[in-house]
């Protein structure tokens, strides 16, 4: 089959790759319809290996580089492994992509995304930038009626936003500040309202992204280049600051800014994978009892299941987030390099391995 394979930094090759084996017990084989390019894929391309095992195989999957990337995808079941119930050939599904051992301390507490052997499809085993991929059915969800595979791809990033709001405890009447209006930030905006926020303020440097945030109902959209964000959020919140801050900007500056936007006892959720030290003065954080919360990925039957339902009932607007559709052979030029060159004009680029 055709696949986009990570060999090393700046070395992703679209090439012939062996088909996945017949699905093992509890697995299905999926013919991938669409797979989204994620910021994590971009980081593996630019700075990798970050998650991809290169020295020794992942303990759960036994796989290491070269690796097929892609962890946001949807497609059709074409083969069913032994012992599978509830899934049949022809079903249109999207997998959550986090494989866990089911036995370790964290798995027994159902914190499966903290599994000691955690494996992510498309990073620690072959993923969705390929014609076919195998996935365990415990993590697979049927797309609800009316949800196309293109929109189904957004279940994965939407579940990241669901989890961030879950960990923030976003609730009725909260005033929420979202930093960054990329795909994740815009999904944070939408899910914050769904969780009960009365106002959601979005900070974003790029004008076209600010426009999308406005269309998605942001109470106020601010450019940190035009206004002092700390002052602006204070003014919008009666001098207090935001109850919840969701950091989806992913730079040292935005991470350092996040706690400054929060009110006393406010909750600040960091959900980007920024890999550099960030200087922060903790003195005001201690005095104001600011809660700094890391939010990693999602749990399949909590966050991912919720995201699928929200897409199914059209309470998340996914279509405006899709800004590109390309074939697999173009993934480097029109996918990764395009995102690097024209960050502002792109949100989610979808890749179809079935074209051409």
**Three-class secondary structure of residue 150 per DSSP:** helix
Among 14, 30, 32, 38, binds Zn ion (CB under 5 A): 38
Binding span for Zn ion by CB under 5 A among 106-114, 195-203, 208-216, 234-242: 106-114
Q: Taking CB under 5 A as the rule, does residue 101 contact Zn ion?
A: yes
Joined together, the tokens standing for residue 151 give: 């929109």
Shortest Å distance, C-beta 77 to Zn ion: 22
Q: Which is nearer to Zn ion, 40 or 254 (CB)?
A: 40
Shortest Å distance, C-beta 54 to Zn ion: 20
Q: Taking CB under 5 A as the rule, does residue 190 contact Zn ion?
A: no
**Please, are residues 140 and 166 in contact by the beta-carbon 8 Å criterion?**
no
Q: Taking CB under 5 A as the rule, does residue 115 contact Zn ion?
A: yes
CA distances from 70 to 12, 61, 122, 279 (A): 12, 16, 5, 33
- DSSP secondary structure string, 288-300? TTPEEEE--S--I
Closest by Cα among 64, 31, 29, 70 to 49: 64
Joined together, the tokens standing for residue 64 give: 């290491």
Joined together, the tokens standing for residue 354 give: 């079935």
CA distances from 314 to 170, 294, 310, 319, 324 (A): 20, 28, 6, 10, 21
Report the alpha-carbon distance of residue 61 to residue 117 in Å, rounded.
Answer: 9
**Please, are residues 32 and 354 in contact by the beta-carbon 8 Å criterion?**
yes
Give the list of residues 6+ apart from residue 198 with CB closer than 8 angstroms, or none: 172, 173, 174, 175
Shortest Å distance, C-beta 75 to Zn ion: 17
Give the list of residues 6+ apart from residue 3 with CB closer than 8 angstroms, or none: 14, 15, 16, 17, 68, 126, 129, 130, 131, 328, 353
Shortest Å distance, C-beta 58 to Zn ion: 12
Query: Which DSSP letter does residue 23 get?
Result: P
Q: Which is nearer to Zn ion, 100 or 163 (CB)?
A: 100
Shortest Å distance, C-beta 143 to Zn ion: 18
Q: Taking CB under 5 A as the rule, does residue 60 contact Zn ion?
A: no
Please work out, in degrees rounded to the nearest 5, the angle formed at the alpha carbon of residue 346 by the alpha carbons of 94 and 195.
55
Q: Taking CB under 5 A as the rule, does residue 1 contact Zn ion?
A: no
Q: Taking CB under 5 A as the rule, does residue 104 contact Zn ion?
A: yes
Binding span for Zn ion by CB under 5 A among 35-43, 163-171, 245-253, 281-289: 35-43
- Strand pairing category for 348-352 and 322-327: parallel
Closest by Cα among 51, 37, 50, 20 to 135: 20
Shortest Å distance, C-beta 176 to Zn ion: 22
Shortest Å distance, C-beta 102 to Zn ion: 6
Binding span for Zn ion by CB under 5 A among 100-108, 195-203, 252-260, 289-297: 100-108
**Please, are residues 189 and 177 in contact by the beta-carbon 8 Å criterion?**
no
Binding span for Zn ion by CB under 5 A among 114-122, 233-241, 296-304, 343-351: 114-122
Binding span for Zn ion by CB under 5 A among 33-41, 174-182, 282-290, 311-319: 33-41
Binding span for Zn ion by CB under 5 A among 57-65, 92-100, 222-230, 264-272: 92-100
Residues in contact with Zn ion, total (CB under 5 A)? 7
Please work out, in degrees rounded to the nearest 5, the angle formed at the alpha carbon of residue 353 by the alpha carbons of 311 and 162.
25
Q: Which is nearer to Zn ion, 40 or 295 (CB)?
A: 40
Q: Taking CB under 5 A as the rule, does residue 40 contact Zn ion?
A: yes
Shortest Å distance, C-beta 72 to Zn ion: 6
Shortest Å distance, C-beta 161 to Zn ion: 11
Q: Taking CB under 5 A as the rule, does residue 107 contact Zn ion?
A: yes
Q: Which is nearer to Zn ion, 261 or 299 (CB)?
A: 299
Side-chain-side CA neighbours of residue 173 (13 Å): 0
Binding span for Zn ion by CB under 5 A among 105-113, 207-215, 244-252, 329-337: 105-113
Q: Taking CB under 5 A as the rule, does residue 135 contact Zn ion?
A: no
**Which residues lie near Zn ion (CB under 5 A)?**
38, 40, 100-101, 104, 107, 115
């Amino acid at each position: 089959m055709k696949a986009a394979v990570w060999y090393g930094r700046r070395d992703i090759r679209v090439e012939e790759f062996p088909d996945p084996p017949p699905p093992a017990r509890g697995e299905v084989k999926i013919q991938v319809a669409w797979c989204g390019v994620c910021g994590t894929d971009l980081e593996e391309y630019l700075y990798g290996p970050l998650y991809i095992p290169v020295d020794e195989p992942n303990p759960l999957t036994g796989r290491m580089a070269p690796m097929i990337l892609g962890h946001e995808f949807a497609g059709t079941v074409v083969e069913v492994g032994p012992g599978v119930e509830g899934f049949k050939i022809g079903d249109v599904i999207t997998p959550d992509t986090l494989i866990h051992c089911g036995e370790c301390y964290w798995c027994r507490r159902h914190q499966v995304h903290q599994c000691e052997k955690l494996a992510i499809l498309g990073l620690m085993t072959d993923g969705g930038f390929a014609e076919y991929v195998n996935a365990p059915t415990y993590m697979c969800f049927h797309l609800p009626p009316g949800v196309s595979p293109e929109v189904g791809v957004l279940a994965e990033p939407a579940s990241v936003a669901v989890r961030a709001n879950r960990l923030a405890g976003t609730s009725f009447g909260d005033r929420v500040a979202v930093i960054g209006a990329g795909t994740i930030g815009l999904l944070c905006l939408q899910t914050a309202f769904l969780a009960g926020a009365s106002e959601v303020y979005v900070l974003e440097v790029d004008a076209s992204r600010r426009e999308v945030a406005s269309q998605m109902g942001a109470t106020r959209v601010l450019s940190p280049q035009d206004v002092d964000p700390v002052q602006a959020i204070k003014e919008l919140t009666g001098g207090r600051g935001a109850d919840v801050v969701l950091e989806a900007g992913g730079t040292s500056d935005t991470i350092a800014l996040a706690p400054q936007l929060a009110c006393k006892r406010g909750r600040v959720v960091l959900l980007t994978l920024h890999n550099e030290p960030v200087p922060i003065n903790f003195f005001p954080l201690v005095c104001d009892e600011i809660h700094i919360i890391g939010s990693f990925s999602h749990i399949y039957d909590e966050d991912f299941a919720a995201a699928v339902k929200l897409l199914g009932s059209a309470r998340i607007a996914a279509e405006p987030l899709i800004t590109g559709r390309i074939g697999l052979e173009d993934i480097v030029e029109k996918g990764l390099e395009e995102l690097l060159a024209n960050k502002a004009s792109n949100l989610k680029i979808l890749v179809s391995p079935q074209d051409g």
